[in-house]
Amino acid sequence: MIRNRDILIVGLQPWDIEIGSNCKNIAIELSRHNRVLYVNAPVDSNTLVKEKTNPWLGKRLEIMKGDTQLFSVANNLWNYYPKNTIYSINWIPNTSLFKRINRLNNKKFAANIKEALKILNFKDFILFNDSDMFRSYYLKELLNPTLSVYYSRDNLMSVSYWRRHGTVLEPELMNKSDLVTANSPYLARVAKQYNANSFYVGQGCDLSIFDPGKTHVLPDDLRKIKGPIIGYIGTIISSRLDINLLMELCRKKEEWNFVFVGNADEQFKLSGLFDLKNVYYLGLRKESELPSYLAGFNIAMNPQLISELTIGNYPRKIDEYLAMGKPVVATQTETMEFFREVVYLGKTAEDYIKLITKALDENSRELIRRRIEFAGSHTWENSVMQISNAIRQVRPELFRNET
């Protein structure tokens, strides 16, 4: 494990984000042995207009105008709120012009970061960039870190916002970074086209609340559902889940009950899926309640839609399902091949029917034990160890004083 270094982290998600964040988990793990500064992205002019009534923005503006923007959130871990706002420029059609104005944004961002680095007396620091290909594009030149790492965790080029200029800037940023790390083999393979020092570093998960040894009281809305329960927990959006597969599956197996826990988008709500007699849409639940719902499932599923957006992603929910020992049926992807020994993989509704039937029939204590053990190996400690190993391969001299 890399130790006794100063590490600057920038990325797409602020520290106070309400959903799970790879970057935050990595920062916490790195801070066990290093000093870590986690910098929120600066507020842009478009956000100032469109989100002016949002309490989140009000909090940000209050901090930006206050006496301090640097906060200690844990031992060896600080969070910084940049004071400067930046221009919203993604509407610019010409990438060359975009890059010139983007450099101005980067200079404003870098100027604030330098203030925080000075306060903390960070020296010879490592720059870890979580996919922030625009606002942090020039930070290597402007901040002069001893090492720069680009972290790829989603195929952002499938999203129009990032694709407009990202098809040029992300490969360039990967190329000039000292190394690239990725949380899926697909994304590592894409990165290797632009930087030979590209590494698959796995994915960590915080599975502390998904404890199969605890007694989980079934929620009232789940207890009343009889028969085999096939469940899904997570955001229910048409860009990531296969509506057609689900419609066919639920219609063909009326004797099974299908439960969905999470927020659904309009396309799902209008699809007619939730109107079927054997489908139960329970809506969003608190994170602390999710293990109790999962405990009531006979089968957990991930009917992922295969697209440019999802083809390279790592579905963390699979580890959460497995941590509770649940049989899991999921759509086959390159990343899911790593789960083949403990997860049932298919592509069609007919595959799902056959695999769910098989999973119900053959479930055993031994299979439950293997699932729990497998999920337990996917820790943030292990993932950050892989990141450290990648750095060691590229810059072994950084580990000479790691006592």
Query: How much is the pLDDT for 294?
Result: 97
Say what percent of the chain tops pLDDT 90: 83
Range of the domain at 370: 220-376
Q: Are residues 237 and 280 in the same domain?
A: yes
Closest CA to 181 of 128, 135, 126, 140: 128
Question: What CATH number does the domain containing 234 carry?
Answer: 3.40.50.2000
HEC per residue, the chain: CCCCCEEEEEECCCCCCCCCCHHHHHHHHHCCCCEEEEECCCCEHHHHHHCCCCHHHHHHHHHHHCCCCEEEEECCEEEECCCCCECCCCCCCCHHHHHHHHHHHHHHHHHHHHHHHHHHCCCCCEEEEECCCCCCCCHHHHHCCCEEEEEECCCHHHCHHHHHHHHHHHHHHHHHCCEEEECCHHHHHHHHCCCCCEEECCCCCCCCCCCCCCCCCCCHHHHCCCCCEEEEECCECCCCECHHHHHHHHHHCCCCEEEEECCECHHHHHCCHHHCCCEEEEECCCHHHHHHHHHCCCEEEECECCCCCCCCCCCHHHHHHHHCCCCEEEECCCHHHHHCCCCEEECCHHHHHHHHHHHHHHCCHHHHHHHHHHHHCCCHHHHHHHHHHHHHHHCHHHHCCCC
Q: Which residues on adjacent β-strands are paired with residue 182?
A: 152, 200
Instruction: Tell whether the model's pLDDT for residue 347 goes beyond 80.
Output: yes
- Is the confidence at residue 9, as pLDDT, over 60? yes
- Identify the weakest region by mean pLDDT among 155-169, 265-279, 360-374: 155-169
**CB environment 302-333: b (16+ within 10 A), e (fewer):** bbbbeeebbbbbbbbbbbbbbbbbbbbbbbbb
Question: What confidence category does residue 403 fall into, taking pLDDT thresholds of 50, 70 and 90?
Answer: low
Number of domains the chain is built from: 2
Percent of the chain with pLDDT over 70: 99
Give yes or no: residues 18 and 138 share one domain. yes
Q: What is the mean pLDDT of the chain?
A: 94
Residues 289 and 183 in one domain: no
User: What pLDDT, on a 0 to 100 scale, did the predictor assign at position 313?
Assistant: 79
Q: 230-284: per-residue pLDDT in tens?
A: 999 999 999 889 999 999 999 999 999 999 999 999 999 999 999 999 999 999 9
User: Does residue 252 lie in a domain region?
Assistant: yes
pLDDT one-digit tens code per residue, 320-335: 999 999 999 999 988 8
Residue 159 and residue 257 in one domain: no
Please indicate, yes or no, whether residues 177 and 298 belong to a single structural domain of this protein. no
pLDDT tens digits, 182-235: 998 889 999 999 999 999 998 888 888 999 989 999 999 999 998 899 999 999
Query: What's the pLDDT at 394?
Result: 96
Residue 161 lies in a domain: yes
Instruction: From residue 240, give the alpha-carbon distance in Å to each of 106, 262, 273, 315.
Output: 32, 13, 16, 11
**Are 365 and 383 contained in the same domain?**
no
Reply yes or no on whether the pLDDT at 19 is more than 80.
no
What does DSSP say about strands 77-80 and 70-74: parallel, antiparallel, or unpaired? antiparallel
Rounded mean pLDDT, 334-357: 95
Q: Residue 401: its pLDDT value, please?
A: 64
Residues 198 and 251 in one domain: no
Q: Same structural domain for residues 107 and 251?
A: no
- Residues 248 and 317 grouped into a single domain: yes
Same-domain status, 140 and 235: no
